[in-house]
Each structure stands twice: as C-alpha cells, then as structure tokens.
Amino acid sequence: MRNKKLLMIGLVVVLAGCSSENPPQVVEVDSSEVALLENKVEEIEPEIEEVVEEEIEPEIEEVVEEIEPEIEEVVEEIEPEIEEVIAEAVYMVPESNSKYLTADDISHLSAAELRIARNEIFARHGRMFASADLQTYFTSQSWYNGTVSADSFSESVLNDMEKANVTFISNYESGSTSTITPEKAMELVKAYSSHNEFSYGGIKQSLYGVYGQEAPWFHVITPVNFMGDGLYAVHVDSGKIYEGSSVPDLILYDGFPILSESKIYEISNKIYGSGTAVSSFTFQEQGRTFYHMFAHGVTTIIRDDGVLFDGYTYDMYNYLEPVMN
C-alpha cells in the first residue's frame, strides 16, 4: 500500500511541476510534505477506486464483449491451419489415412522414414510393434496410443485408402512403383463397370508371368454388394482392366509381347537343360500360338509370349492351366 501511495505522490509532485511552458523538473520535498501527500492520497483513494469500479471497469468489459465474437471468429478461421501445421509436424505422412498417396507424397523420405510412414498407418489404429526402434519412435509421438499387440492386430480395421497406401509405400521401398495410382485405377473401373460402389483391395502381383521374368502387378478392385464371383484388375503400368476370379493372385496377364520362335526354344532349353532332345509341335487357341514341348517324360506348354501352362492338364483334360512362376 505504501508503494502505491508513494507512486501517487510522485505523480502529484511531477504533475505539480509540469506545464506546457515548464518542462518536467525534479522537485525537492521534505518529509512533512510527503506525510501530507500520503494523507491526501488516503483521502482520495476510495474515490479513485470507486471511479475505476463504476466507470472504467464497465467500459473495459463492454469493449471486451464487443470484440470477443471477432476474436472467436478469427480463432475458428485459423484453427484448421494450426491443426494442419501440428499434424505435419507430428506425422511422417499426415494424409496417409485420407487420400491415395502418389510418389510426390513420399519421394522426399529416406528409407528409414518410409518404414516409419508405412507403419504409421498401423500405429494410427493402436498397433504395437515387436521392433524396439519402431515402438520407441511411436511411443514418443503425442498422438500414439498403443493398445493392440502385433499378433492381435488385424488389417481389417484399415480403410481402403490406408490398405492401398501400405501396399504403395511397400512397393516404393522395394523400387516397384506404378504409373497408375490407386485413385486413378478406381476412376478407370468406375468408368468401365456398371456397378456403383467398389472396394479397393490393394496392389497384387499375379502368380503368372513370362518365364524368368517378374510377374505383373495389378490394382485389385471389387464391386461392393455384388453377389457374383468377380473382381477387376487394373494393370499398374498400362491401366488395362481385366475381369478375373475372386482370387486376385490368379490373374493371368495377356499383355506380354509376342516372342520369336527362337526365344521360345531358349525358354525350353532353360527348362529341360541345354542340349536336351525335345519333341514339339504347335497348336492354336483363341488366336494364340502354343508350343507343346516334351522331354524326360514331362510335357510343358509355352504360350507365344513365354507364359507357361501345365502340360499334364492339357494332355489329360485339354485344359490350359497356367503354371505359377
């Protein structure tokens, strides 16, 4: 209280010595004058407090009430931006649960960061990790709540975008990237099919391919609420759509280039061994040429693009069954 009084006294002293003609001056006062001023302050202090309570404080409150809606409106406008900045700061790939990723979304990430980005999709759903480094990393994230052991976790909790992005990142890590994104594949199927609703099943590799080469990859898309046994497979590079069975791995790609006869016999030599006497003949099925090879009691059917078919099944049942690579 004494400090407050002295402050008021100081103001009185300074103001007493100031005017438009007279600049501020240091005024010397003796102790008796200070005591008089203190008493005067004590007399007028209740009046000052009354003025503050009755006049100044209500005005301040009125101003606050007037601008409060404007402040709240500004906060509401910038809140999404703040949340977005926070999300970008804490998630490796913030939108991996809400959009189909492209190479542009992850091309800047290192190998270690790609691993985190892929597992981040599972971590959003509370999965815990057997790898100590992953568990340590996610435990340090403010958004993470690990409640499901790795053994108990089911990928069925992921939405279609998350499933697609897990596969996409995994393929990117292994160096296998597609020119047709999951989102684009879905658009192609919607334009191609008479169905209205679809479920994305991820990127799958066919078990069949040209002998000695990597089998093709497909985006697998299934009609929702469809009672039949079918799916659509979209080739990841060409975008060509194939209608297949409900088992996506059994998709047989028929878009390989036609090989020369000498190339077909090179494949035969690799199968049976160079220098092996092979009896052969050709036949036509659905406009394609098939080479019937026989040696060492084993029949192999090689299509003109290098895809293998089971010889026994053809000889016994006249049915062309592809051989898994």
Which pLDDT belongs to residue 26? 52
Mean pLDDT by 10 residues, the chain (325 residues): 47 46 56 71 76 77 80 76 59 89 83 91 94 91 92 89 85 71 88 87 82 84 75 86 76 86 92 87 93 92 94 92 79
**Rounded to an integer, what distance in angstroms lies between the CA atom of residue 126 and that of residue 113?**
19
Task: Report CA-CA distances (Å) from 269 to 88, 119, 302, 305.
Answer: 56, 44, 12, 16
SS3 content of the chain, % helix, strand, coil (to 5): 45, 15, 40
**Rounded to an integer, what distance in angstroms lies between the CA atom of residue 267 and that of residue 264?**
5
Which pLDDT belongs to residue 173? 78
Rounded to two decimals, the pTM is 0.47
